[in-house]
Amino acid sequence: MKHRKKADLPSKLCPVCERPFTWRRKWAKDWDQVRYCSERCRRAAKMGGAGSLTNASAE
């Protein structure tokens, strides 16, 4: 198996924090279903969208 540079890996934008995140090996089987960059963003989306993440960090 050849090693890939991180820049060559596929990436997506997180709908909550709007930051790009790249493919991870643990997501290999379900990359199409991955929507959020982290557990924190996934929880923020369930609690009320992007506003809840940005309001929490403003305090």
What is the residue whose two structure tokens read 């790249």?
Answer: 22
Domain membership of residue 40 (yes or no) is: yes
Tens of pLDDT, residue by residue, the chain (59 residues): 577 787 788 999 999 999 999 999 999 899 999 999 999 999 999 987 655 565 555 54
In a domain, 39, yes or no: yes
Say if 59 falls within a structural domain. no
- Per-residue model confidence (pLDDT) at position 59: 46
Q: Which of 30, 31, 49 is closest to 22 using CA atoms?
A: 31
Judge whether 42 lies within some domain.
yes
In a domain, 38, yes or no: yes
Supply the range of the domain harboring residue 43: 11-22+34-49
Crossing angle of helices 50-58 and 39-48, in 10° steps, is 110
Q: How far apart are CA 19 and CA 35, in angstroms?
A: 12
Total domains in the chain come to 1
Rounded distance between C-alpha atoms, residue 5 and residue 17, angstroms: 24
